């Protein structure tokens, strides 16, 4: 129980650091805009703050749900067949459940986003993956 609590606290701490970093970057960008540097006003971060994110996320979620519905049906059929036949389709289902959503997310992102947003979001995803890998390495070193 104590180890689970420590793991949860470590995850919360990691999320808070990521959120705090984002907030600091946001406020530093606003501060730089007050100083009015021309080179920073053309950056990806400033342009992405002017982007219509609500429209983008609504389109992204709608198209993503359309693509994910076949995956939900596939899993439903798998569980129905698995109950009756006791088949061994587990590896196939695990592979489909990992690969299909990632491909669908990239396709949906490329359909709904322009170059700026695609670059920005893939950078954020790469940062999150890097942070997860670093945290796994740190937690492995503690053991």
Q: How confident is the model at residue 41 (pLDDT cuts 50, 70, 90)?
A: low
pLDDT digits (tens, 9 = 90+) for 47-87: 767 778 788 888 888 888 888 888 888 888 877 777 665 55
Alpha carbon of residue 44 to chain centroid: 19
**What is the percent of the chain where pLDDT is above 90?**
0
**Mean pLDDT, all residues of the chain:** 77
Location of structure tokens 């982007």 = 51
What are the boundaries of each domain within the chain? 1-112, 115-142
Mean pLDDT of 111-120: 79
Q: Is the pTM of this model over 0.75?
A: no
pLDDT reported for residue 45: 66
pLDDT reported for residue 81: 74
Rounded Cα distance between 35 and 46, Å, is 14
């Amino acid at each position: 129980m104590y180890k689970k609590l420590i793991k949860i606290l470590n995850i919360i701490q990691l999320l808070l650091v990521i959120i705090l970093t984002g907030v600091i970057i946001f406020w530093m960008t606003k501060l730089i805009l007050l100083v009015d540097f021309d080179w920073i006003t053309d950056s990806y971060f400033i342009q992405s703050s002017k982007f219509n994110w609500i429209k983008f996320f609504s389109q992204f979620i709608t198209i993503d749900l359309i693509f994910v519905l076949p995956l939900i049906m596939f899993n439903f059929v798998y569980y129905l067949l698995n109950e009756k036949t006791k088949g061994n389709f587990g590896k196939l289902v695990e592979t489909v459940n990992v690969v299909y959503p990632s491909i669908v997310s990239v396709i949906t992102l490329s359909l709904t986003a322009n170059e700026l947003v695609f670059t920005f979001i893939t950078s954020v995803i790469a940062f999150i993956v890097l942070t997860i890998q670093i945290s796994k390495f740190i937690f492995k070193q503690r053991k």
